[in-house]
Amino acid sequence: MSNPISCIIVDDENVARDIIASHLSRIENIEVIAQCKNAIEAFNFINNNAVDLIFLDINMPEISGIAFAKSINKNIKIIFTTAYRDYAVEGFNLQAVDYLLKPISFERMLQAINRYFEVSTQQVETLPQPSETNDFIFVRSDRRMLKITFKDIIYIESLSDYLKIHLKDQSIITRETISAIEAKLPQKDFLRIHRSYIVNLANIESFTNEEMIVNGKALTISRSYKKDVITKLERF
């Protein structure tokens, strides 16, 4: 795979985090971008960064791993880690990729990562693909389906469960996730630069490693997307 999988480790035990991080450092295409001591730290991190996979301890103080898993974006995959077998059924009911019982061996970690890739591949194959012939999409707004031409989109902004689609002459609010609309857009014309932003390449005026000016608006390029953004733009 060309893009590394962005992972975070959430566990209140330092030793447990170190063991997981050590295992993951030996596996290609896996990048640990944060280690969090509790669910609150993890929640704040994923709200500002793109995360593909969470290694999540279940038995944590204040907010359990189960409660945390129920509160986050369902597009983020979870591998539960715990010292207690009793939580396995509830973990799988949340559609976790895997359930690792501590102490975690490297061989068992490899199995979990392979399972993650299998699950991710299956989902990619079933995602709706953007049409090669259509130059537009329909989105629902104010109980109507509105036609939006790709060339009229300046950039798209995520507002939690809603999107704000900035057009040349107006903005449209629709209830959809940014990942769902990203799958409908032609990749040759649009670029994800942040967990909250997709931009139309035709409207980029300038950029640095940290931000991009799109039609006069400064948008942040997040650390998680920076490498892909710079690589793609330098091809032009």
What pLDDT shows up at residue 128? 47
Q: For residue 213, what pLDDT band results from cuts at 50, 70 and 90? A: very high
- Note the residue count of the chain: 236
Across 8-22, 87-101, 151-165, 216-230, least confident range: 87-101
Sketch out the chain's domains with CATH numbers: 5-126 (3.40.50.2300), 136-233 (2.40.50.1020)
Q: Using alpha carbons, select from 151, 149, 152 the residue that is nearest to residue 138.
A: 149
What is the pTM for the complete model shown? 0.53
User: Is the omega angle on the peptide bond into residue 103 within 30 degrees of 0, that is, cis?
Assistant: yes
pLDDT at 114 over 80: yes
pLDDT for residue 123: 56
* Token reading at 144: 């109507």
Q: What is the mean pLDDT of residues 184-189?
A: 87
Q: State the average pLDDT for the chain.
A: 85
**Of 7-16, 80-89, 153-162, highest mean pLDDT:** 7-16
Give percent above pLDDT 70 in the chain: 88
Q: Tell which phi-psi region holds residue 198, choosing left (phi > 0), alpha (psi between -120 and 50) or beta.
A: beta
Residue 14's pLDDT is 94
- Quick one: pLDDT at residue 34? 96
Give the residue with greater pLDDT, 96 vs 103: 103
